[in-house]
Amino acid sequence: MSTGRNFREMSLKELLAKATPRRSGDELAGVAAKSEEERVRAQMALAEVPLRRFLSEAVIPYEKDEVTRLIIDSHDSEAFAPISGFTVGEFRDWLLGDEADIESLAELAPGITPEMAAAVSKLMRMQDLVLVAAKCRVVTSFRNTIGKAGTFSVRLQPNHPTDDLQGIAASTLDGLCYGCGDAVIGINPATDNVENIVRLMQMLDSLIDTYSIPTQSCVLTHVTTTMEAIKAGAPVDLCFQSIAGTEQANRSFGVNLAMLQEANEATLALGRGTVGNNVMYFETGQGSALSANAHHGVDQQTLEARAYAVARVYNPLLVNSVVGFIGPEYLYNGKQIQRAGLEDHFCGKLLGVPMGVDICYTNHAEADQDDMDVLLTLLGNAGCNFIMGVPGADDIMLNYQSTSFHDAAYIRKLLGLKPAPEFQAWLESMEIHNSAGVLQPVDVSNRLLAMSREEGK
């Protein structure tokens, strides 16, 4: 070894960072392995670490960080018992075995800490991440049921650079006619003032009501703005917030755990769900803690897994890793984005979180649609709960590329997956899907197209 450091003397934090697959963000933070050999040797050392050690050695001190306190205080030692004697390496092997099935993994979830999930993912190849995640099912519901075996859902994302209602409605209609929108119809608003937010919420609510669509809406604004909208009597289905894996990074988003709790309670109190009551929608993404200079020397993937530990406390309907959004200083190219997307989905699912992935990239990253196709195909096989549906994969408000309505139709067709059952029934009633879940040509006389005539006035 050229580094001269003994891995046995390293803190868990250092070992996790050195064992992580190569990533531009960890190099930027100065925590990555200095050579390929050091990286693999760190992985070998990590494989020998007993899982119990994660319960006594925090990567960010308990006293300094409320996310650490949450992780430690909410750990379920009974659920942990079956794996309490394992090393990280043994845990990896066990997860791939047949004893780890849907039931045992669901029972295990509260006993796994995010650091354990991150650690074991670092010892896995892509096929391992796919195979194990495919065995983890996390089902949630509001006006429909998301995450069941054989289903694959889509967030319809009809953004517009000036929040023009007709423009948003046009993109929404396009998505619905392609069978998308069962995860949520969710708008990223261009301007954040409350009046504008309420206007968007009312528009989506009226649309869902008029066409009796079994889905939920969300305007992705700051949690405090959503709270104001609730107070103003706005029709809020889901409460959105971006979250991260450290207290300090969450503070840079203007949130803390108490605020999330309050928002969760306020949204639950509206009682707008019909088949379930999962009311939170969280977004995350590797690199956010480093970007806010709030990473404490922890690698970005471990921090990302800690964000899922935050999310799971509030029983969210949807958690979405916006994997390639921030830029190449965190995930440099298609390979890094693909690996990160699969790790995020795997860690979230292992922790019992309803994971979706915004499969995406910016124009300054070394990536293109081919890379997105690879990740989409992998995530479809890994049992991902949902992806984004953006018209033509091009978000004209956020200036990045994601997955399209066509992409969603592709993965459903390839793998024989259907939308959420309630939404599928609605699509059939609207003659958009047939009973086999196949897209039908939309006839000019289709009832849903009346919407376009309304908008065209």
Partner 1 sequence: MNNDSTGKPIITSDPWSKLRTFTDARIALGRCGTSLPVKESLEFKLAHARARDAVLVPADMVSLANQLELQGYSTIQLESSVVDRMEYLVRPDKGRLLSETSSIALQHHGQRNFDIGITVCDGLSGPAIHENAYEGVSGFLECVAKTELRVAPVCLVTNGRVAIGDEIGHLLGCKMMILLVGERPGLSSSNSLGAYITYEPKPGITDEARNCISNIRTGGMSIAEGVRKITYLVESGLALGKTGVELKDKMSSSYLPLQGLIPSL
Q: Which of 70, 257, 374, 442 binds partner 1 (CB under 8 A)?
A: 442
Give the interface segment with partner 1, choosing from 6-14, 50-58, 167-175, 200-208 (CB under 8 A): 167-175
- C-beta of 157 vs 302, nearer to partner 1: 157
Burial class, 455, CB count within 10 angstroms (exposed 0-12 / middle 13-18 / buried 19+)? middle
Tokens of 449: 């197209």
Residue 49 CA, chain-centre distance (Å), reads: 28
Residue 63 CA, chain-centre distance (Å), reads: 28
Q: Mask: binding to partner 1, 405-424, rule CB under 8 A, as x and -?
A: -x--xx--x-----------
Q: Which is nearest to 172 in space by CA: 155, 151, 197?
A: 155
Q: Which of 13, 135, 137, 160 binds partner 1 (CB under 8 A)?
A: 160
Shortest distance (Å) from residue 97 CB to partner 1: 37
- C-beta of 88 vs 169, nearer to partner 1: 169
Apex 376 CA angle, 373 and 382, nearest 5? 145
Q: What separation in angstroms does the CA of 261 have from each of 238, 265, 266, 280?
A: 14, 6, 9, 10
Alpha helix segments (H runs only) across 74-147:
77-80, 88-96, 102-108, 114-122, 126-134
- C-beta of 136 vs 390, nearer to partner 1: 390
Shortest distance (Å) from residue 208 CB to partner 1: 19
Residue 392, CB half-sphere, CA atoms under 13 Å: how many? 5
- C-beta of 263 vs 393, nearer to partner 1: 393
166 binds partner 1 (CB under 8 A): yes
Query: What residues between 340 and 359 interact with partner 1 by CB under 8 A?
Result: none
173 binds partner 1 (CB under 8 A): yes
Alpha helix segments (H runs only) across 313-394:
334-350, 369-381
- C-beta of 168 vs 234, nearer to partner 1: 168
- Sheet strands (E) in 243-383: 280-284, 318-322, 355-358
456 binds partner 1 (CB under 8 A): yes
Residue 131 CA, chain-centre distance (Å), reads: 18
Q: Coil, strand or helix: which one is 389?
A: strand
- C-beta of 275 vs 414, nearer to partner 1: 414
Chain position carrying tokens 């908008």: 455
371 binds partner 1 (CB under 8 A): no
Give the interface segment with partner 1, choosing from 52-60, 128-136, 275-283, 395-403 (CB under 8 A): 395-403
Which residues bind to partner 1, rule: CB under 8 A? 24, 27-28, 158-161, 164, 166-171, 173-174, 177, 327-329, 332, 362-364, 368-369, 390-396, 398-401, 404, 406, 409-410, 413, 439, 441-444, 449, 452, 455-456
